[in-house]
């Protein structure tokens, strides 16, 4: 593989990761129009997004196992093509709610394969601090896409409520590109294939790997608790405007661009230490929300939480993709994706139950304390730091 082909492959991975966000971020501005056009109630319109996320919990691990069996190129190309075709069909403005929801579910299943694969492919192409840097570039690509697509989607709604689904046709072009550009790792022997599932089970039972899965869950639990209830705290409890709440969330997202520096940060401290620093920042940010110190403090908290999330995500992804052998990597990364999405789903639910009996500020303090307690997960991760010094594989 030449240096040029490596850059081309990584660039395509970053494009795919960003384009996958057309499934949600570009759609959000259209939800009110979809509700009006199809005459949906609030519960029905929520299904447009919830049925999209559900396959990531149900199918991510099986799709990862399939990827390790049949190859990266085939799975990512087919998934992107199906995603694009579904988007084209939706762009014609179907007025059938069952068809709309069915196609959204199918798209969610394709993204359940594609997004973990972008992490996996970086692990295939890069090792050590170079992998950390590349995972950071992926995060930045998704951050930029997450900022751009809602604006583009909002503009396209003015044309027609279904027009923004046409953005998803980019999946067809990316599918073709992936078919010719995405590499597959060398095939394993038939003996390795038969024993791979057992080796994966043995691998994930290791205390350090369980700790890694715990940090994966905790990141998304803390993040979606913050994102879901920060606007409620600011607007409903403290009388701030919706515009300011949106500004705070925008500052949080922009702060995630620190991921661009992840490669350099890995040279200064081992990845596990940065995960620990991020957990401290999570805990401090969440606990500080209990104190009403004005808008400037809220912005500072959003910056701190965003910096922590950007750093935490890159290093956890680097560990996840870097500690397994190539024939187990896609399955393990996808399994971690299921853990990640479980955290997303549980955070709003658990905080919703907590605030039935507690003040929202108190609930934030409790979640902040949990973030501090999650520091107990960091010491087992120290053994993975060696992989970013000597590039050894710890599994397989």
In this structure, what CATH number is given to the domain that contains residue 343? 1.20.1250.20
pLDDT of residue 351: 86
Domain that holds residue 256: 198-390
Identify which of 130, 131, 175 has the alpha carbon closest to the alpha carbon of residue 20.
Answer: 175
**Conformational region of residue 160, where left means phi above 0, alpha means psi within -120 to 50, and beta covers everything else:** beta
Mean pLDDT for back-to-back runs of 10 residues, the chain (396 residues)? 68 94 78 80 74 85 88 95 94 84 93 93 88 90 83 79 87 95 70 64 88 94 87 83 80 86 86 95 95 89 94 92 84 88 84 88 94 96 77 41
pLDDT of residue 107: 94
- Whether 189 maps to a domain, the answer reads no
Same domain, 132 and 91: yes
Neighbours of 159 (CB within 10 A): 10
Q: Which two tokens stand for residue 131?
A: 């992998």
Q: Is the dihedral of CA 130, 133, 135, 138 positive or negative?
A: negative
Q: Which two tokens stand for residue 2?
A: 């030449």
pLDDT of residue 252: 86
Same domain, 208 and 130: no
Mark which of 114, 147, 181 sits at the end of a domain.
Answer: 181
Same domain, 170 and 212: no
pLDDT of residue 217: 95
pLDDT of residue 292: 85
pLDDT of residue 189: 47
pTM score: 0.82
CA distance linking residue 26 with residue 133, whole number of Å: 27
- Whether 190 maps to a domain, the answer reads no
pLDDT of residue 43: 66
Same domain, 115 and 240: no
For 126-206, where are the alpha helices, taking DSSP H only? Answer: 128-157, 170-181, 190-204
Q: Which two tokens stand for residue 276?
A: 């620990």
Same domain, 378 and 311: yes
- Whether 282 maps to a domain, the answer reads yes
Same domain, 44 and 147: yes
Same domain, 267 and 381: yes
Tell me which DSSP letter residue 205 carries: T
Same domain, 294 and 343: yes
- Whether 188 maps to a domain, the answer reads no
pLDDT of residue 211: 95
Same domain, 176 and 202: no
**Please, is 307 exposed, middle or buried when counting C-beta atoms within 10 Å of its C-beta (0-12, 13-18, 19+)?**
buried
Same domain, 27 and 84: yes
Same domain, 171 and 232: no
pLDDT of residue 188: 53
CA distance linking residue 315 with residue 312, whole number of Å: 6
Domain count, the chain: 2
- Whether 24 maps to a domain, the answer reads yes
- Whether 341 maps to a domain, the answer reads yes
pLDDT of residue 38: 83
- Whether 224 maps to a domain, the answer reads yes
- Whether 192 maps to a domain, the answer reads no
Same domain, 106 and 239: no
Mark which of 149, 181, 213 sits at the end of a domain.
Answer: 181
């Amino acid at each position: 593989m030449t240096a040029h082909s490596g850059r081309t492959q990584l660039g395509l991975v970053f494009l795919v990761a960003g384009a996958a966000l057309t499934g949600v971020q570009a759609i959000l501005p259209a939800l009110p129009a979809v509700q009006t056009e199809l005459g949906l109630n609030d519960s029905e319109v929520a299904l447009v997004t919830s049925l999209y996320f559900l396959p990531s919990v149900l199918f991510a691990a099986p799709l990862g196992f399939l990827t390790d069996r049949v190859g990266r190129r085939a799975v990512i190309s087919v998934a992107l093509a199906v995603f694009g075709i579904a988007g084209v069909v939706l762009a014609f403005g179907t007025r059938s709610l069952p068809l709309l929801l069915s196609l959204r579910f199918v798209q969610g299943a394709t993204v359940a394969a594609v997004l973990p694969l972008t992490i996996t492919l970086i692990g295939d192409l890069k090792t050590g601090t170079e992998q950390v840097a590349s995972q950071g570039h992926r995060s930045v690509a998704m951050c930029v896409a997450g900022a751009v697509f809602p604006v583009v989607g909002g503009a396209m709604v003015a044309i027609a409520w279904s027009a923004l689904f046409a953005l998803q046709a980019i999946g067809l072009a990316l599918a073709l590109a992936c078919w010719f550009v995405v590499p597959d790792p060398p095939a394993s022997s038939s003996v390795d294939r038969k024993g791979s599932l057992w080796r994966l089970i043995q691998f994930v039972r290791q205390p350090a790997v369980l700790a890694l899965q715990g940090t994966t869950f905790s990141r998304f639990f803390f993040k979606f608790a913050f994102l879901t209830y920060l606007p409620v705290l600011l607007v409903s409890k403290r009388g701030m405007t919706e515009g300011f709440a949106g500004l705070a969330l925008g500052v949080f997202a922009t702060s995630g661009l620190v991921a661009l520096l992840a490669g350099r940060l890995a040279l200064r401290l081992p990845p596990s230490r940065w995960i620990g620093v991020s957990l401290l920042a999570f805990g401090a940010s969440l606990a500080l929300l209990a104190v009403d110190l004005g808008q400037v403090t809220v912005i500072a908290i959003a910056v701190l939480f965003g910096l922590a999330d950007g750093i935490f995500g890159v290093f956890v992804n680097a560990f996840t993709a870097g500690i397994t052998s190539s024939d187990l990597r896609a399955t393990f990364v996808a399994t971690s994706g299921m853990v990640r999405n479980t955290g997303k789903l549980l955070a709003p639910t658990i905080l919703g139950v907590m605030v039935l009996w507690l003040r929202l500020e108190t609930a934030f303090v409790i979640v902040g304390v949990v973030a501090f307690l999650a520091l107990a997960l960091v010491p087992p991760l120290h053994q993975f730091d060696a992989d970013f010094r000597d590039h050894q594989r710890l599994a397989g």
